[in-house]
Chain A
Amino acid sequence: MDLSRRRFLQAAVLAAATAGATAACGGGGSGSSGSKDSKNLTLWYWSGGLSDKVVADAKKHFSDITLKTSVVGGDFKTKLLTGLRAAQSAPDITGIKGEDIASFLPNANRFVDLKTVGADKLVPEYLSWKLKQATTQDGKLIGFPIDIGPCATFYREDLFAKAGLPTDPAKVSAELATWDDYFKAGVELHKAVPKTFLVNNIGSVFTMVIGQGTRRFIDEDNKFIGDQDHIRTAWTTAVKPYTLGIDAKINDNTWNAAVSGGALGTEIGAAWHALDISNAAPGTKGKWRVASLPGGPSNLGGSFLAIPATSGNPDEAFKIISWILSPENQARGFTDAALFPTAPAAYKLPALTGGDPFFGGQKTIEIFGPAAEKIPAAFEAPADAAVSAPFYSELTSIEAKGKDPEAAWKDAVSQAKQIAQRQGVK
């Protein structure tokens, strides 16, 4: 080790300088403390979270602003949490996923109240139940809705015909209006086409039924209500297809194969789920149709754009948000990235009113549009997702181990209570 001291020092200084330069580059992205009129704004979203074409046009449209966009991969929420904690690295505009928005509400002070930067004028044009999800109990709006997931029944017209069931979307919607009707049709379908099941798993039924109600697992007074009748009813409804033998019990990554192989006669899911189906089973093009969800409209998913409190220019940031999420651009987002618009005005635009060849040319907006406007506004507590997890786990236990549904219910409730306690719910 005869390293000359001078040579060593040179190397050390060089290394330190490199490290310093790298750090400076990293922090330079949104150097935006102090003044609130920065012309350099950063936007974080995830792949598919916004229409890339609309975002690219936003950069051109706001020519006096340099909009830098990062498509953040991996666990978006965790990265956003880290970014918010170290204010230096927080973006000026960020996406927030629908399932995460509630958990950000207790820290609403980390975000700009969008009503103070111009959202109050736009609020009437957007779906009120969706805005409620991003509104704190004292009325602050922290997120502007990108999209929603109005739910419907996707069904295989050809298999329905084989089983002698109605095939016309309007007729299916009318005759399969309740969950019991839907399950009855499933039994007939399974009898006629033995390899075909009605639902992919019972957790999906549970999700839908919960979404049809106005109350979830925790109420406005921060009380645990997951053991009450509305959840119990959802549970009982979810278990029915299992006991009737029309549950495909798919809880692994074989869903794609099941869809393309005709093992699933129906899929209950959000509007964006159409893309999953067409990606998984391109060979079934033209065989699917869309009907109303049994038991009433429900929502699954749908994200938001928010402005962190550290944003360099909240006013400009909201101008960009409202431009990206204007009804016209939302219609483009629907065509480009299957983002279902949150502004009902968009439902009348040609991008949405056209027929979808995957669904045999059916105008799916006739199902999704009315559903979107009728979705019940539910209160979703910050700990809702955490508290609901045991119910889903226990439903898969029923499917995987044949666990007695009654025992599973008791375990789910006791675990949920425990999580509620840990999360500070009364």
Chain B
Amino acid sequence: MSSSPVAGPAATGPSSGSDTAPVGRPVPDRPSGGPGRHGRRIRPVSAGARPGPPRRVTRYWPQYLAISPYYLLFSVFMFFPVIYTVYLAFQKWDGIGEMHFVGFQQFRFLWDDPVFWLSVRNTLVIWVLSTVPMLFLALVLAVLVNSTKRFTAFYRVALFIPSITSLVAIAIFFGAIFSNNFGLINAILRSVHVSAVPWMSNEWTIKLVIAALMTWQWTGYNAIIYLAGLQAIPSELYEAARMDGAGPVRIFFSITIPLLRPIILFTVVVSTVTGLQSFTEPQVLFGSEAATNPNSGGPGQAGLTTLLYFYHQAFDNNDFGYGAAIVWAFFLLILLIVLVNWRLVQRKERRP
């Protein structure tokens, strides 16, 4: 990582006059192993005549002050709590009593906790069941909307509405549609003499319902992003392809998909991060479970996602140290999956 800051000042060193920094550096003009593209990208940004770092801060202080509220709020309400959970993960704490340092004990508990692993499995299954159809449908919808000539604004608004609808309202609505005994879908099934499906109590259908909910909510949002990407593709390319005799399928796979790859990468990463954090969906769908066993993720705990399990441990059981350990272990898992996704989509880019 240290390569880019070195490459930056090194390139501008002679012209900028701030020759204190590069002096200590052994070989200023070598990109020091960093990826060539990266170095090139840095250079133009810092190439303008600019004063040294200390003067820069003092000169632009009103601007820094102007953007400071965000950073202050961020550090108080986001950064500090995040760091604090690291500390908490090594404590045993009930929320108001004394904290006890317990070392890695919470993580050892986590390793042996079958419910934690069940929740991780649930989360991954729900994520796959929702993300794959969601991104596929979004792409199809985006291509369809992109080719429409009339009502385009209407389609765009229609696509965007689900993502700004209250998640709780959607979850209650889905709960009513998929209800075992009195749901809309089972009523339809019965009316055509097909036996009803116990959507809300079967291990797999519970996950399907949650995944369907997430797909319904976020397909339109991703479609809008794809649509923006599609409109950035120059029409000459399509014309050229058509001149060469390519059909719509060939155009889609040889032009649209490759040029959309950065956008696809973005949506994959974002849906991975958000899809793995499903919490409200199972919480509302199976939240009616009275006081005896709240937030347990429904029958057979089939809808228990990791974040719901974390919430249950921290806020129902007041085991804040264990809760912190759960979220940190899960953070590492999300990071791993995002990296894997990144590599997968990136590698394909190099091949053609």
- A positions within 8 Å CB-CB of B: 1, 3, 5, 8, 12, 15, 75, 77-78, 81, 84-85, 97-99, 103, 106-107, 110, 203, 207, 249-255, 257-258, 261, 263, 301, 382-383, 385-386, 388-390, 392-393, 396-397, 399-401, 403, 411, 415, 418-419, 421-424
Q: Is A103's CB under 8 angstroms from B288's CB?
A: no
Q: Is B182's CB under 8 angstroms from A399's CB?
A: no
Q: Is A103's CB under 8 angstroms from B94's CB?
A: yes
Partner of A423, one of B96, B113, B312, B317: B317
How far apart are the CA atoms of A37 and B63 in the complex, in Å?
Answer: 49
- Which chain A residue shows the least CB distance to B62? A8
Q: Is A418's CB under 8 angstroms from B94's CB?
A: no
- Which of B24-32, B123-131, B240-248, B290-298 lies at the interface? B290-298
Q: Is B181's CB under 8 angstroms from A257's CB?
A: yes
Q: Is A301's CB under 8 angstroms from B300's CB?
A: no
Q: Is B293's CB under 8 angstroms from A389's CB?
A: yes
Residues of B near A389 (CB, < 8 A) are 293, 296, 312, 317
Given contacts A85-B95, A249-B201, A422-B322, contact A393 B179 (CB under 8 A): no
Could you list 12 examples of A-B contacts with CB < 8 Å? Answer: A84-B96, A85-B96, A203-B292, A252-B298, A253-B176, A254-B181, A385-B317, A392-B296, A393-B300, A401-B203, A423-B317, A423-B319
Q: Is A400's CB under 8 angstroms from B286's CB?
A: no
Q: Is B66's CB under 8 angstroms from A8's CB?
A: yes
Which B272-309 residues have a C-beta within 8 angstroms of A? 285-286, 288-289, 291-293, 296, 298-302
> Interface on chain A toward B: helix, strand, loop, or mixed SS?
helix
Which B308-327 residues have a C-beta within 8 angstroms of A? 312, 315-319, 322
How far apart are the CA atoms of A421 and B203 in the complex, in Å?
Answer: 28
Q: Is B291's CB under 8 angstroms from A254's CB?
A: no
Residues of A near B203 (CB, < 8 A) are 400-401
Residues of A near B114 (CB, < 8 A) are 411, 415
Given contacts A106-B97, A107-B94, A418-B112, contact A255 B288 (CB under 8 A): yes
How far apart are the CA atoms of A97 and B94 in the complex, in Å?
Answer: 17
Q: Is A424's CB under 8 angstroms from B300's CB?
A: no
Partner of B315, one of A75, A98, A383: A75
Q: Is A5's CB under 8 angstroms from B97's CB?
A: no
Q: How far is the CB of B68 from chain A (nearest CB, A)?
A: 9
- Which chain B residue shows the least CB distance to A414? B114
Partner of B115, one of A77, A250, A301, A415: A415
Q: How far is the CB of A118 from chain B (nearest CB, A)?
A: 25
Residues of B near A423 (CB, < 8 A) are 317, 319
Q: Is B301's CB under 8 angstroms from A252's CB?
A: no
How far apart are the CA atoms of A203 and B66 in the complex, in Å?
Answer: 57
How far apart are the CA atoms of A99 and B99 in the complex, in Å?
Answer: 23
Q: How far is the CB of B77 from chain A (nearest CB, A)?
A: 14
How far apart are the CA atoms of A410 and B124 in the complex, in Å?
Answer: 26
Q: How far is the CB of B87 from chain A (nearest CB, A)?
A: 15
Given contacts A400-B299, A401-B300, contact A81 B65 (CB under 8 A): no
4 cross-chain pairs, A with B, having the tightest CB-CB distances, nearest first: A400-B299, A392-B293, A257-B182, A386-B317
Q: How far is the CB of B61 from chain A (nearest CB, A)?
A: 10
Q: How far is the CB of B203 from chain A (nearest CB, A)?
A: 6
| B175 interface residue per 8 A CB criterion | yes
How far apart are the CA atoms of A203 and B301 in the complex, in Å?
Answer: 14
Residues of A near B69 (CB, < 8 A) are 15
How far apart are the CA atoms of A107 and B96 in the complex, in Å?
Answer: 7
Q: Is B62's CB under 8 angstroms from A251's CB?
A: no
